[in-house]
Copies of this chain bind each other. A is one copy, B any other.
Amino acid sequence: MSLLQEERKIILGNEYVDNFDFAEVEDFVKNASKDLFISYNFKTKNKMLVQPRGGFPTYKKQFALNKFFVEANVDVLPLTIDSNTRLNDYATAKKMLRLSEENEIDMLNGYPLVNHGYRTTRKMITHFNKPVSLRHGTPDARLLIETAIASGIFEIEGGPITYLLPYSKNFPLDKAFLYWKYVEKVCANYSKLNEPINRESFGPLTATLVPPAITIAIQLLEMLLSLEEGVKSFSVSFSQTGSMNQDIVMGAVIKKLAKHYANEINCDDTTINLVYHQWMGAFPTNKDFAEQLINMSTVIASMVGADKIITKTREEASGIPTKEANAKTVASTQYTLGILNGLPNIVDEEEEEILTLEVKAIMEAVFNDEADTLWRKVFNSIKNGTIDVPFSPHIINHNEMITIRDANKNIRIIKRGNVPISDRCFEYEKSKCDLTKDTTSIVNDIIHDIGIMQ
Closest to A405 in B: B341
> How far, in angstroms, from A345 to B245 measured CA to CA in the complex?
8
* Contact segment of A30-38, A121-129, A154-162, A331-339: A331-339
CB distance A284 to B341 under 8 Å? Answer: no
A344 interfacial by beta-carbon distance below 8 Å: yes
For A248, A328, A344, A346, the residue with the greatest tally of chain B CB atoms inside 10 Å of its CB is: A344
Which residues from chain B contact A346 at a C-beta distance below 8 Å? 344, 346
How far apart are the CA atoms of A410 and B346 in the complex, in Å? Answer: 17
A22 at the interface (CB under 8 A from B): no
Cβ contacts under 8 Å, A248 to chain B: 344
The stretch of A73-81, A267-275, A287-295 in contact with B is A287-295
**Residue in B242, B288, B343 whose CB lies within 8 Å of A341:** B242
Interface size on A, residues (CB 8 A): 37
Q: A288: shortest Cβ distance to chain B, in Å?
A: 6
Which residues of B lie under 8 Å from residue A292 when comparing CB positions?
A: 295, 332, 335-336, 339
Judge whether A332 and B296 touch: CB under 8 Å: no
Q: Which parts of A274-307 form the interface with B (CB within 8 Å)?
A: 284, 286, 288-289, 291-293, 295-296, 299
Q: How far is the CA of A321 from the CA of B306 in the complex (A)?
A: 36
CA distance A215 to B261 in the complex (A): 49
Instruction: Identify which of residues 304-341 in chain A touch chain B, using a CB-to-CB cut-off of 8 Å.
Output: 328, 331-332, 335-336, 339-341
In whole Å, how far is A449's beta carbon from the nearest beta carbon of chain B? 11
Q: Is A47 an interface residue (CB 8 A)?
A: no
* B289 with A335: CB separation less than 8 A: yes
A288 contacts across to B, CB distance below 8 A: 328, 331-332
Indicate how many identical chains form the complex.
2
Residues of B within 8 A of A243 (CB): 341-342
Query: Cβ of A244: which chain B residues have Cβ within 8 Å of it?
Result: 340-344
Tell me whether A219 is interfacial, beta carbon within 8 Å: no
- Fill in one digit per residue for A167-186: 1 if any B CB lies within 8 Å of its CB, else 0: 00000000000000000000
A447 at the B interface (CB under 8 A): no
| Chain B residues within an 8 Å CB radius of A246 | 342
For the complex, is A64 an interface residue (Cβ under 8 Å from B)?
Answer: no
- Nearest B residue to A341 by beta-carbon distance? B409
> Would B332 and A289 count as touching, CB distance under 8 A?
yes
A452 to B243, CA, bound (A): 29
Q: What's the Cα separation between A289 and B331 when bound, in Å?
A: 8
Question: B291 near A291 (CB under 8 angstroms)?
Answer: yes
- Which chain B residues lie closer than 8 Å to A452 at the CB level? 339, 341
Q: If A288-B331, A289-B332 touch, does A342 touch B410 (CB 8 Å cutoff)?
A: yes
A339 to B405, CA, bound (A): 13
* Distance in angstroms between the alpha carbons of A295 and B293 in the assembled complex: 9
- Interface flag for A435 (CB, 8 Å): no
> In the assembled complex, how far is the CB of residue A212 from the closest CB belonging to chain B, in whole angstroms?
12
In the complex with contacts A299-B299, A344-B248, A293-B242 CB distance below 8 A: no
A103 to B208, CA, bound (A): 56
Query: Which of B241, B242, B286, B299 makes the CB contact (< 8 A) with A296?
Result: B299
Q: Which residues of A contact B (CB under 8 A)?
A: 241-248, 284, 286, 288-289, 291-293, 295-296, 299, 328, 331-332, 335-336, 339-346, 348, 408-410, 452-453
- 16 residue pairs of the A-B complex, CB under 8 angstroms, read A241-B342, A244-B343, A245-B342, A247-B342, A289-B331, A289-B332, A291-B332, A293-B339, A295-B296, A296-B336, A296-B339, A296-B340, A341-B408, A342-B408, A342-B409, A345-B348
Given contacts A245-B342, A286-B335, 10 further A-B contacts (CB under 8 A): A245-B344, A247-B342, A289-B331, A289-B335, A292-B336, A296-B299, A296-B339, A342-B408, A344-B346, A345-B348
